[in-house]
Amino acid sequence: MTAVVIDGKAFAARVRGQVAAHVARLREEHGLQPGLAVVLVGEDPASQVYVRNKGTQTAEAGMASFEHRLPADTSEADLLALIARLNASPAVHGILVQLPLPKHLDSDLVINSIDPAKDVDGFHISNVGLLGTGQKSMVPCTPLGCLMMLRDHHGSIAGMNAVVVGRSNIVGKPMAQLLLGDSCTVTIAHSRTRDLAAVCRGADILVAAVGRPEMIPGDWVKPGATVVDVGINRVERDGKMRLVGDVDYAGCAAVAGAITPVPGGVGPMTIACLLANTLTACCRAKGLPEPEGLTA
């Protein structure tokens, strides 16, 4: 079997188009403009690229983009004071603090100082608890993007066996909650899982989010399964730097029914979902109907 390639780039463009159309309606009908504030502390090169892309795509969707770049030695008090200002600002509906933060800053404390209603990353402990109990919450962007692609490809995923490899707070755990919310039978596997190969072979939906280049070979995939590759790993091949996922793409694509490529799969969906979350946060703040198809 040769897998259907799930085109995340095209899907993300569609999501951004839906967001932009809804934003335009908010402006015409209610005189409202959703606003996203992104806070970057320090000069991590990868983070700078992400933040630039976020700013560009936010503006392209017709939303207000506020960028706060702070020096690497910013004190916790100064960062908390900025977040308090953003929490109080009526022009800001979403706040994202780019991670990782410099080591002297307590990430949990900082994230939990964001107003949960503006926490478009879905990392605040309140949102984690709401998602875990099946209540309305802000949902982390990367797992939300994966869920949207799975729903689009399958229609319903109810009753399917889903295996999530990776147990991070940002991807693995919320991904498992979302799959459970859509009535999958969910296993969270990780580096200490016994016979990981056999566990993966039981998956109708296999989500790889471990951060280890090409760790999952084709013979761990059930024939016809859907493989969602969250990994983005930079590796050197034949003297060139390349991006590869957490699965061996060629090996898995030969067995799977559908697969997300790297690049061009899950990656582009993350910022698209950030825009969707900012729009959702704005609608909730104003008591307006939420955008359809853009939430969990």
d(Cα 187, Cα 165) in Å, to the nearest integer? 8
Within 13 Å of residue 30, how many CA atoms lie on the same side as its CB? 14
Q: Estimate the crossing angle of helix 141-154 against helix 172-181, to 10 degrees.
A: 40
| Residues 81-101 as b or e (16 or more Cβ within 10 Å = b) | ebbeebbeeeebbbbbbbeeb
Q: Which of 121, 182, 204, 246 is catalytic?
A: 121
By CB under 6 A, which span of 61-69, 93-101, 155-163, 232-240 interacts with ligand GUN? 93-101
User: Residue 231, class by beta-carbon neighbours within 10 Å (0-12 exposed, 13-18 middle, 19+ buried)?
Assistant: buried
Catalytic, 222? Answer no
Contact between 97 and ligand GUN (CB under 6 A)?
A: yes
Q: Which of 197, 269, 196, 191 is nearest to 232 (CA)?
A: 269
Nearer residue to ligand GUN within complex by CB, 261 or 267: 267
Contact between 282 and ligand GUN (CB under 6 A)?
A: no
Among 98, 137, 277, 278, binds ligand GUN (CB under 6 A): 98
Nearer residue to ligand GUN within complex by CB, 121 or 229: 121
Contact between 70 and ligand GUN (CB under 6 A)?
A: no
Residues 106-145 that bind ligand GUN (CB under 6 A): 121, 141
Q: Dig out the tokens for 27 from the structure.
A: 């402006």
Provide the mask over 258-277, with x wherever binding to ligand GUN is found by CB under 6 A and - wherever it is not.
------------x-------
Residues near ligand GUN, by CB under 6 A? 96-99, 121, 141, 270
Residues annotated catalytic, as ranges: 54, 98, 121
